[in-house]
Amino acid sequence: MFINTLLMALREIRRNVLRSSLTVLGIIIGVAAVIVIVTLGAGTTRQVQDEISKMGSNMLTIMPGGAMRMGGSAQSAPPFEMADLNAIKREATSLAAIAPVSLRPMQVIIGNDNRRVNVMGTDSAFSEVRNWKVVEGRLFTDSEVRAGKAVCIVGNTIKEEMFRGDIPLGAVIRIGKVTCEVIGVLEAKGQAMFGGDQDEVVVLPIRAFQRRLAGSSKISQIYLSARDVAGIQDLKGEVERIMRDRRKIAPGAQDDFNIRDMTEVSSMMQSTTGILTGFLSAIAAVSLLVGGIGIMNIMLVSVTERTREIGIRLAIGALETEVMLQFLVEAAALSAFGGLVGITLGLLGAAAIAPALNVPFVWQPSTILTAFTFSAMVGVVFGFMPARRAARLDPIEALRHE
């Protein structure tokens, strides 16, 4: 019986192809939008996870300021000094590597090319901490770091774009008013989590950065790595104790610096993505609601149009429930069909948009199944009222209907 009802419904839908298509347009748009948003959201999440594993999951960063929120720390707290690093190096037993980092966007001039680039002052340990290798040339030597020599390592984008792909070893570039010699090229890292090209960077020995570019001996961040992932929490505890001691923070008072590990960054990113995805999905769901009302509208028209047919069926001996089922199945088939088209369009759309946003295309069977079930449910819910109206028709009246 159900198969027959379904076949009957499909035939009825085929009979009015144009009307059926227009009816389900709302469902198609709603489902497609949800699929695009959820798929891109999943892609972003995947990207964040990849990013974190690329950065080295046992990495910690220390920044001045209280508990950090999205958008930057309170800069009122004093920055760090080399002595802080030395203390951590001496006292922290779980430490694998530690690197000072000072960052500043500056004008970099190579030949005729001139652009604003992130300039980073650090020492050779940053390569180990950030899990970021030099693919051509070499890292700084200890004497270069100690002397603050004007040598630099450039990111892949600098090599590809400003040097037009030539290996720039030995070339001289200008950073602001300072010239320095290129001694190495970093491996490509790609897009950063918060946007921006990580490879558009020039790295100098910290002391060269401090003396020649910044004019101060401040260190804005410290990167450290634990021996392994299990050691992260130990290292965090040790560093917090050392830093509180050095910065003379009274017991019970809040830290004026904060230590973050990558799992925090990742969960923060993921909750942000999650909120955004949920919010956009809610908007898209409104379209599903509108689509459902469209289906209800057309089903009501259909019931009126087919009053005579309903009368015939009732006279022939159809039960109320059977007439009701017929119209419900029709509405559900209609909206499920819209769901299928929407899913297809959504996946195609997401696949097209993902590369433009530099996000991997991640398709989740569970999302698709949910979207399909949901769209069919929309048909059942919004088809209910018209179907009941059809089932309750008086056969005598219905047969008389013109």
Partner 1 sequence: MTAPVIAFDQVYKVYGKGDTEVRALDGVSFAIQPGEFVAVMGPSGSGKSTTMNILGCLDTPTAGHYFFKGADVGSLSRDQRALLRRHFLGFVFQGFNLLGRTTALENLEVPLIYRRLDKTTRRRMALEALEVVGLKGREDHTPGELSGGQQQRVAIARAIVTQPSLLLADEPTGNLDSARSHEIMELLTRLNKERGLTVVLVTHEEDIAAYAYRRIEFRDGKIVRETDTRRAA
**Token pair listed for 184:** 């190495």
Minimum distance of partner 1 from residue 31's CB (angstroms): 30
- Closest to partner 1 by CB, 269 or 325: 325
- Closest to partner 1 by CB, 286 or 319: 319
- Closest to partner 1 by CB, 341 or 391: 391
DSSP conformation letters of 335-367: HHHHHHHHHHHHHHHHHHHHHHTT------HHH
Q: Residue with structure tokens 């198609």?
A: 28
- Closest to partner 1 by CB, 212 or 306: 306
Minimum distance of partner 1 from residue 309's CB (angstroms): 6
- Closest to partner 1 by CB, 5 or 141: 5
d(CA 131, CA 153): 15
d(CA 396, CA 311): 7
Are the beta carbons of 194 and 266 closer than 8 angstroms? no
**Token pair listed for 13:** 């839908």
Minimum distance of partner 1 from residue 353's CB (angstroms): 42
d(CA 125, CA 56): 14
- Closest to partner 1 by CB, 321 or 364: 321
Minimum distance of partner 1 from residue 25's CB (angstroms): 24
Name the DSSP class of 254.
P
Of 157, 164, 169, 75, the closest CA to residue 116 belongs to 157
- Closest to partner 1 by CB, 282 or 319: 319
Minimum distance of partner 1 from residue 385's CB (angstroms): 20
Of 318, 319, 335, 323, the closest CA to residue 381 belongs to 335
| Rg value, the chain, Cα | 32
Minimum distance of partner 1 from residue 307's CB (angstroms): 12
d(CA 140, CA 124): 6
- Closest to partner 1 by CB, 319 or 348: 319
Of 360, 363, 38, 362, the closest CA to residue 191 belongs to 360
Beta bridge pairs of residue 174: 109, 179
Question: Helix or strand or coil: residue 54?
Answer: helix
Minimum distance of partner 1 from residue 343's CB (angstroms): 31
In the structure, how many helices (H) and strands (E) does the chain have?
A: 13, 10
- Closest to partner 1 by CB, 17 or 253: 17
Minimum distance of partner 1 from residue 1's CB (angstroms): 6
Q: Which residues of this protein are in contact with partner 1, per CB under 8 A?
A: 1, 4, 15, 308-309, 311-322, 395-396, 399
Question: Helix or strand or coil: residue 3?
Answer: helix
Minimum distance of partner 1 from residue 33's CB (angstroms): 35
Minimum distance of partner 1 from residue 347's CB (angstroms): 35
- Closest to partner 1 by CB, 14 or 69: 14
DSSP conformation letters of 89-154: HHH-TTEEEEEEEEEEEEEEEETTEEEEEEEEEE-THHHHHTT--EEEE----HHHHHHT-SEEEE
